[in-house]
Chain A
Amino acid sequence: MYDHLNHVQQQFKQREINIELQGFKTVTTQPGVLQYHIEAYNEYLLLTNSRVLPIGTRILSDTNSVEISSGQRRTEGLEEFSGLVSIELPRETTYFPIIEFIQIVKE
């Protein structure tokens, strides 16, 4: 079975990035607020629950950006973000999820 944490450990080892800390970070979204910003400088945030995000959600960071489409609502592809991470929910959304990330602080 696909194991997120194992995958993360292996991939960062391949990329020769030493991990100082591996943890979790969540962003609780709420009605009336469509934009959220997280500072992840010298860190990586790996999105683990893209399948619960409304289609059209955009996550923009300094190193990677995605817009959630039906094809991206799957677990396998752990999208990775770093720097200033901006989350933009679609204007028409009526669903406000808790967005979950694996947080990697690099050495």
Chain B
Amino acid sequence: MAVTRYQIISLRVQHAGEILKFQHKIPAYLTCCTGFKLSMVGVMPPALMNTTLGRLSASFNSLKEEAITASLKHEVLAAKDFQQLEVQLHPGQIVSGVYVDEQLSEAFKPYRVNLYLRCTDKEGQTTKTKAACTTT
């Protein structure tokens, strides 16, 4: 039976306009990423509700596949579903990318960004994950 693991890349944003780079090694037993989700952790002023906090770009397989670009919005009840992805992972390779804060400086409060990657150890997927990595 396939296992699903959620890799979390967590970034701390400390000032307005900050640019944060990241590198994360996905364990070699995970062979496929089927989804991603960006989430904000922290307390924000109500004035920032439904505003964009920043944007993220990420590539997989040690810069071979640029698959993700996404905006992070401050939302109270964000939908819990993941954005579909189908990345066949090369064993033990790096996910790398950058997060750019885009807030108005006067309204800034430090916060944390979590990038969740939903990955599995099987190339073929269950219907639950709605995505399938094809074998190469």
A49 at the interface (CB under 8 A from B): no
Q: Using a CB-CB cutoff of 8 Å, which residues 57-101 of chain A contact chain B? A: 58, 60, 62-67, 82
Known pairs A62-B57, A62-B69, A65-B19; A15 contacts B98 (CB<8 A): no
Whether A65 contacts B63 by the Cβ 8 Å rule is no
Task: Say yes or no for A28: interface residue by CB 8 A criterion.
Answer: no
Interfacial chain A residues near B59, Cβ < 8 Å: 63
A65 and B98 contacting across the interface, CB-CB below 8 Å: yes
Q: Is there a chain A Cβ closer than 8 Å to B121's Cβ?
A: no
Q: Is A16 an interface residue (CB 8 A)?
A: yes
User: Is there a chain B Cβ closer than 8 Å to A14's Cβ?
Assistant: yes
Q: Please give the residue numbers on chain A whose beta carbons come within 8 Å of chain B beta carbons, in ascending order.
A: 11, 14-17, 58, 60, 62-67, 82
- Can you sample 6 A-B contacts with CB below 8 Å? A15-B63, A16-B64, A62-B57, A63-B66, A63-B69, A65-B19
Binary A-proximity of B49-90 (CB < 8 A = 1, otherwise 0): 000000001010011101001000000000000000000000
Chain A's nearest CB lies how many Å from the CB of B121?
24
Give the interface SS of chain B, mostly helix, strand, loop or mixed.
Answer: strand
CB of A69 to closest CB in B, whole Å: 10
Is the pair B98, A64 in contact by a Cβ cutoff of 8 Å? yes
Q: A63-B57, A67-B19 are in contact. Are A14 and B98 (CB under 8 A)?
A: no
Residue B131 is within 8 A (CB to CB) of chain A in the complex: no
Q: Is the CB of B57 within 8 A of A15?
A: no
**How many angstroms between the C-alpha atoms of A90 and B63 in the bound complex?**
30
Judge if B100 is at the interface, Cβ distance under 8 Å: yes
Inter-chain contact A15/B69, CB cutoff 8 Å:
no
Are A15 and B64 in contact, CB atoms less than 8 angstroms apart?
A: yes
Query: In the assembled complex, which residues on chain B have CB atoms less than 8 Å from the CB atom of A14?
Result: 62
Residues from chain B with Cβ under 8 Å of A17 in the complex? 64
